[in-house]
Amino acid sequence: MEGHTSYRTYWMVWVLLLILTIVMIFVEAARLPAAATVLLLTIAMFVKAGMIGTWFMHLRYETRALVLAVVLGTLITAAFLWFLLIPDALATLEMSPR
Amino acid sequence: MTQTAAAEAHWKGGASPFGVSWQKLMMWLFLMGDALLFAGFLASYGFVRLASGTWPEQSEVFTMALIGTMTFVLITSSATMATAVGAAQRGDLAKARRFVLLTLLGGVIFLGMQAYEWTNIIHEGARLTHNPWGPPAFSSFFFMVTGFHGTHVLIGVLILAITTIRLGAGKTTEEGVELAGLYWHFVDLIWVFIFTLFYLI
């Protein structure tokens, strides 16, 4: 699939990425409740990652099979690391003698 | 061909299911594996941070202006790389070469700033095994995570240098530039996660 994104689009994405980065630095400095900070920053992080993948890495021009394999494949496997290993590691820590 | 038949032909591997060259497919597979390397790092960092109870206040340890500038440089180099790939796709290899060089420059500036950051932090007494700010794991993760990322940037700079030379010699195809670009954007993508999870949260 041949895709020609205009140069203008790339630099628009660049501007948006910079704005999001600045917003993130302000959110961190604003001393909001910890949960709000983590939630906002995590959302901004995934939006930024999605923009880089979609426009810079041209995923919007690839077949759906490739996009699903790459994005879901990585996210699901990475989520396993976070949500299965961490609780298990914490439980092991609780049981171990200090 | 009806839609179902077309889908079947794709999923049975009759056509090219992903619709990309094997080079690009292999690059994506490599990037997925590499992403999981960093996911492993960041997950173990998350666990250790939760388990240690206390964690240094990052804004007191790091200079946020420096980290912000490093992020700016890396995002900008990603935009110049995207422009280089766009130029290569349009057949303008001279422009592609100029923008690959600009990207390379961005990578070198990023590495310079990272070396400066590391020097400062080492001077303040941070080592792999201990640091002046609290849990020893803090500086251990700092050096390992940013070190692995920095190594990726260094390898990216080498790839860009090779791409520049090969573009000059007329040896690199449009896809060669695109694959170098995929790797470079990936390095930027990983930085987005490190910047958020390690420096900000």
What lies within 8 Å, CB to CB, of A28 at 6+ separation is: A37, A41, B59, B200, B201
Instruction: For B160-199, write each residue's pLDDT tens digit.
Output: 999 999 999 999 989 999 999 999 999 999 999 999 999 9
Read off the pTM: 0.91
Q: Is the pLDDT of residue A82 over 90?
A: no
Nearest in space to A40 (alpha carbons), one of A58, A54, A26: A26
CB contacts of A67 in chain B (<8 Å) are none
Nearest in space to B71 (alpha carbons), one of A12, A57, A38, A45: A45
* Contact (Cβ atoms closer than 8 angstroms) between residue A56 and residue B78: yes
Q: Which of residues 24-53 of B touch A (CB under 8 A)?
A: 25, 28, 31-32, 35-36, 39-40, 43, 46-47, 50-51
* Contact (Cβ atoms closer than 8 angstroms) between residue A85 and residue B47: yes
CB–CB of A7 and B90 under 8 A? Answer: no
> What mean pLDDT value characterizes chain A?
89
ipTM: 0.91
* Contact (Cβ atoms closer than 8 angstroms) between residue B189 and residue A53: yes
Task: Tell me how close the Cα of A90 comes to any Cα of chain B, in angstroms.
Answer: 7
Q: From residue A86, how far is each of A83, A92, B44, B47, B49 by CA, in Å?
A: 6, 10, 8, 6, 11
Chain A CA closest to residue B84: A7
Range of weakest confidence among A10-24, B4-18, B30-44, B119-133: B4-18
Pair of tokens at residue B120: 């400062």
**Count of all residues that appear for chain A in the document:** 98
Of B20, B79, B195, the CB nearest to A62: B20
* Contact (Cβ atoms closer than 8 angstroms) between residue B77 and residue B107: yes
Task: Tell me how close the Cα of B123 comes to any Cα of chain A, in angstroms.
Answer: 26
CB contacts of A77 in chain B (<8 Å) are 36, 39
Angle between helices B64-89 and B93-123 (to 10 degrees): 160
Pair of tokens at residue A46: 């995934």
Pair of tokens at residue B97: 């070469």
How many CA atoms, within 13 angstroms, populate the side-chain half-sphere of residue B124? 14
Of B32, B89, B189, the CB nearest to A53: B189
Q: Is the pLDDT of residue B4 over 80?
A: no
Task: Tell me how close the Cα of B54 comes to any Cα of chain A, in angstroms.
Answer: 14
pLDDT at position A1: 39
Instruction: For B51-106, write each residue's pLDDT tens digit.
Output: 888 899 988 899 999 999 999 999 999 999 999 999 999 999 999 999 999 999 99
> What mean pLDDT value characterizes chain B?
92
Instruction: For A38-48, write each residue's pLDDT tens digit.
Output: 999 999 999 99
Q: How confident is the model at residue B6 (pLDDT cuts 50, 70, 90)?
A: low
